[in-house]
Amino acid sequence: EVQLVESGGGLVQPGRSLRLSCAASGFTFDDYAMHWVRQAPGKGLEWVSGISWNSGSIVYADSVKGRFTISRDNAKNSLYLQMNSLRAEDMALYYCAKDSDSYGYGWHDYWGQGTLVTVSS
């Protein structure tokens, strides 16, 4: 059974940093691209970032480019999102999602339950 478990969310002040983690199990992690998708309270889904199976391709939404860094550790079956210079508009539930493809040319076939990031002074 595929499982994605996010952690690392919490309350953070504007301008500060936070690192999210996603622990994956139930599939061969290093065969697939992975993504972060967020959902602000009461709002829709927003794709944030994606990383290919071997970290050779990394992409970001314009809204987070230059502030967020996605990474993965295939030996630990883990995905990460380093979030710097956080803003109020970054406040959201952050989901880890598995891609159906190795390079991020597919769809999001499995999702975690999300970890909540609250940005407030």
Q: Which is nearer to another protein, 62 or 66 (CB)?
A: 62
Q: Which is nearer to another protein, 23 or 61 (CB)?
A: 61
Contact with another protein (CB under 8 A): which of 33, 79, 91, 119? 33
Phi, psi of 82 (to 5 degrees): -90, 120
Amino acid at 114: G
Phi, psi of 42 (to 5 degrees): 75, 10
Q: Kindly state whether residue 1 participates in binding another protein, applying the rule CB under 8 A.
A: no
Which residue, chain included where needed, has tokens 């407030």?
Answer: 120
Task: Tell me, by CB under 8 A, how many residues bind another protein.
Answer: 28
Please tell me the distance from the alpha carbon of residue 101 to that of residue 63, in angstroms, as a whole number.
Answer: 24
Encoded tokens for 95: 């989901």
**Piece in contact with another protein (CB under 8 A), picked from 12-20, 21-29, 84-92, 105-113:** 105-113
Q: Kindly state whether residue 59 participates in binding another protein, applying the rule CB under 8 A.
A: yes
Phi, psi of 26 (to 5 degrees): 90, 0
Q: Kindly state whether residue 46 participates in binding another protein, applying the rule CB under 8 A.
A: yes
Q: Kindly state whether residue 25 participates in binding another protein, applying the rule CB under 8 A.
A: no
**In terms of Cα–Cα distance, which of 76, 38, 42 is closest to 60?**
38
Binding site for another protein (CB under 8 A): 33, 35, 37, 44-47, 50, 52, 57, 59, 61-63, 95, 100, 103-114
